[in-house]
Structure 1
Amino acid sequence: MRALIQRVVSADAAYVNGEVISSIGRGLCVLVGVANGDTKKDIDYIVKKILNLKLFEDDESESSKPFKKSVKDRHLEILCLSQITLYHTLKGNKLDFHHAMAPAQSRDFYGEFLQALRSQYEPDLVKEGAFGEHLVIGIKNDGPVTVMLESPKSPTTELEQTVPDVDG
């Protein structure tokens, strides 16, 4: 599971026709990608990181120290958007998504992620876009501050990925 987290002054998600689905003020805009084989462990890891990353100053004063408080500490909003392109590979110049979870399965998994995030935070502060829809996203990045997270994979998976193909 991957999450691209951006600290924002504001963010919104709208349909192409301009109808706004969700909007937030200060907080985090989180683009979420789901891979084949992701589990509840991956959700737990990403949710914990989103809520606890120290991405905000300790207060609003000019003398405040940066990177001291989390979105949870500051009681700020979160806008989550499903993002299949976080699990792309390139075949020449064409995007391929065979590492991404299939759409039907991914929709349910992403729903579980949102439920976990809301259950560990303030549900009214967690907003979402529309899964699988073509959206226009407005982001006013603050900083800019952008962090890429990936949930850890099991040692077996990592080993399989790093062993060279000696038969070929």
Structure 2
Amino acid sequence: MRLVVQRVLEAQVKIDNEIVGSIDKGLMILVGVGENDSEEDVDYLVQKASNMRIFEDESGKMNLSLQQVEGSILSVSQFTLYADTKKGNRPSFTRSAKPDKAIPLYEQFNQSLRNQGVRVETGRFGADMKVSLVNDGPVTITIDSQNR
């Protein structure tokens, strides 16, 4: 699984001009599920995302986690994180998991975060979504569960 994690002051996702998920301070996370991913990958990334110390403490150092600042997560499924651009100019997405595998792992990722007490808002898997955010810092970090 791959995550693009952005520290935000606010973020929202719209579908058909309707806001379906919105947060204030926290993390906007794009979540990509690969064809070889498993529940082990979900567990690893839940721990990374919820415990990563990328929020500033009173000294201005990135030393606090999402839970320490009582932040929320906006989680958006993003199969294009597995784009293969090696050949030509048109990306291939064959390494992305098919929906029958990706949806349960994406939902497990979100539920596992909720089980840790994190407020999680989401988009809708497979929908045409419009995502907007105010990146704080900016801070943007990529995490790939295959690169442990």
Pick the TM interval, shorter chain: over 0.9
Per-residue CA distance 1:91-131 (angstroms, 9 max, x = gap): 31112111110122211221111111111233xx1111111
Q: Note if 1:58 corresponds to 2:57.
A: yes
Q: CA deviation at 1:18?
A: 1.3
Q: Give the residue type in structure 2 aligned to 1:14.
A: K
Structure 2, unaligned stretches of length 5 or more?
A: none
Which structure 1 residue ranges, 4+ long, deviate > 3 Å from structure 2?
A: none
Alignment match, 1:115 = 111
The structure that is strand-richer by fraction is: 2
CA distance in 2: counterparts of 1:50 and 1:94, whole angstroms: 31
Alignment match, 1:141 = 135
Q: CA deviation at 1:86?
A: 0.3
Q: CA deviation at 1:3?
A: 0.4
CA distance in 1: counterparts of 2:11 and 2:142, whole angstroms: 18
CA distance in 2: counterparts of 1:8 and 1:149, whole angstroms: 17
CA distance in 1: counterparts of 2:35 and 2:101, whole angstroms: 9
CA RMSD of aligned residues (A): 1.4
The total of aligned residue pairs comes to: 147
Alignment match, 1:11 = 11
Alignment match, 1:72 = 67
TM-score, normalising length from structure 1? 0.83
CA distance in 1: counterparts of 2:35 and 2:146, whole angstroms: 14
**2:47 alignment partner, SS class:** helix
CA distance in 2: counterparts of 1:43 and 1:109, whole angstroms: 7
CA distance in 2: counterparts of 1:102 and 1:117, whole angstroms: 23
Q: Give the residue type in structure 1 aligned to 2:115.
A: S
The structure having more radius of gyration, on CA atoms, is 1
Per-residue CA distance 1:12-40 (angstroms, 9 max, x = gap): 0001x311001000110000000011111
Q: CA deviation at 1:152?
A: 3.0
CA distance in 1: counterparts of 2:71 and 2:108, whole angstroms: 21
CA distance in 1: counterparts of 2:144 and 2:91, whole angstroms: 20
Structure 1, unaligned stretches of length 5 or more?
A: 155-168
CA distance in 1: counterparts of 2:95 and 2:34, whole angstroms: 6
Q: Give the residue type in structure 2 aligned to 1:131.
A: F
Q: CA deviation at 1:153?
A: 5.8
TM-score, normalising length from structure 2? 0.94
Alignment match, 1:2 = 2
**2:4 alignment partner, SS class:** strand
Percent same amino acid at aligned positions? 38
Q: Note if 1:130 corresponds to 2:98.
A: no
